[in-house]
Structure 1
Amino acid sequence: MSSVGLLYVGAVLFVNGLMLIGLVPGKSAGILNFFVGGMQVLFPTVIILQADNNLPAIFAAAGLYLFGFTYLYVGILQFTGITGEGLGWFSLFVAACAVVIGILQFTMINDPVFGVIWFVWAILWFMFFLLLGLGKKSLTHATGWFTILISQPTATIPAFFLLVGKYETNAALAVLLAVLAVIALAAALFLGRNAVRTRDAAEAPGILQTV
């Protein structure tokens, strides 16, 4: 069941990234956030109710709420116009939890691939914190591009492998994923910096005319 939810996490991350770079309107993206956020709250609740005190199952389900609440929060913000500082600080909490879960994936669960995936999510949610919690608007496009670039390798692709019973995890795959994540982050920062420069160049004539 969590694998099904992970599949749609890839979709909502992709759309939210497009929203951040200005290609998808906020309310249009907000609808998908409600759908996926609702799924990411319903699924772990069902898993926990059926877990019969199975701690590994409960642990796996608990992390899903971090995403479910995030997406529902995004949907609410897009339709109400409420400012995003609260979501930004919640994202810091999500990032910290993602680091802990990532460490546990390496040390207790012996799944280095998802260990890396959780660390990548920690970086992404920390960028959400910088953007929304601290108001670092210059990171908008960089955050959007990083969201787009990591949406498929960390969610959709592993979800498909899990759903067809072909998922594998080992150190080599984890290193490969980590390298791809570093490249994605570098590319996102580069694209974000270019977007800021383009915006500043477009605004320059108006500033000069005003002066």
Structure 2
Amino acid sequence: MLGIGLFFVGITLIINGWGSLLNIDHRSLALINLFTGSLSFIINVLYTIQGSYYEAGTGFLFAFTYLLVGIIYLFDLDMRIYGIYALFVAINTLPFAWISWQIEGDPIFALIWLIWGVLWFCGFLDAVIKVRFGKSIHYFAIACGIFTTWIPGIMMLTGIS
């Protein structure tokens, strides 16, 4: 199930990045965020039912990210609430990276957690602290979408990894 979630998170990051670069109305971008957030929510409810609480807990971070962004975009709400949430998630990526590396023995996924943490932290800096990254943050979101979620998602779906 993780592969499915990562696959759609990837395309959502790519769409959000390109959408911002192309100045697409956020209400239009809300749809993919709501679809991906809902899909991720359902996947993580299934993980919870199966008793896979670590997978569910970490996965709900993604579900709520995209549901929150989708609702903020749809209703033109204050983005600072996302920024505060993104800081919470960014902080949590540190122990998850450590768990991936030291407990699960997966240094690649540990690195991916850290990259996601940087992206979420940039969301905090942008929305709350008002650091202006210019277009670079959108290119970073696209790169994260391609290399940390979409490609790993495809690899998981096809059984390559």
Instruction: Give the structure-1-normalised TM-score.
Output: 0.73
State the Cα distance separating 1:132 from its structure 2 match: 0.6
Structure 1 segment 120-139 matched on structure 2, within 5 A = 120-136=115-131, 138-139=132-133
Name the aligned partner's letter for residue 61 of structure 1. A
Q: How many residues align?
A: 161
Q: Which residue of 2 aligns with 1:32?
A: 32
8 Å CA contact 1:34–1:72 kept in 2: the answer is: yes
Cα distance in 1 for partners of 2:128, 2:77 equals: 13
State the Cα distance separating 1:120 from its structure 2 match: 0.3
The ranges of structure 1 where at least 4 consecutive aligned residues each deviate by more than 4 angstroms after the TM superposition are none
Q: Which residue of 2 aligns with 1:144?
A: 138
Which of 45, 67, 76 is the aligned partner of 1:81? 76
8 Å CA contact 2:19–2:29 kept in 1: the answer is: yes
**Structure 1 vs Structure 2 CA RMSD:** 1.2
Q: Which residue of 2 aligns with 1:182?
A: none
State the Cα distance separating 1:59 from its structure 2 match: 0.8
* Larger relative contact order (Cα-Cα within 8 Å, sequence gap ≥ 6): 2
Instruction: Give the structure-2-normalised TM-score.
Output: 0.95
Name the aligned partner's letter for residue 109 of structure 2. F
State the Cα distance separating 1:140 from its structure 2 match: 4.3
8 Å CA contact 2:9–2:149 kept in 1: the answer is: yes
Identity of aligned residues (%): 29
User: CA offsets per residue over residues 64-119 of structure 1, 9 Å max, x none?
Assistant: 11111111111111111111111101000010111210111001011111111100
Q: Which residue of 2 aligns with 1:177?
A: none
Kindly name which structure, 1 or 2, has the bigger radius of gyration based on alpha carbons: 1
State the Cα distance separating 1:23 from its structure 2 match: 4.1
Q: Which runs of 5+ in 2 are unaligned?
A: none
Q: Which residue of 1 aligns with 2:154?
A: 160
Cα distance in 2 for partners of 1:110, 1:15 equals: 32
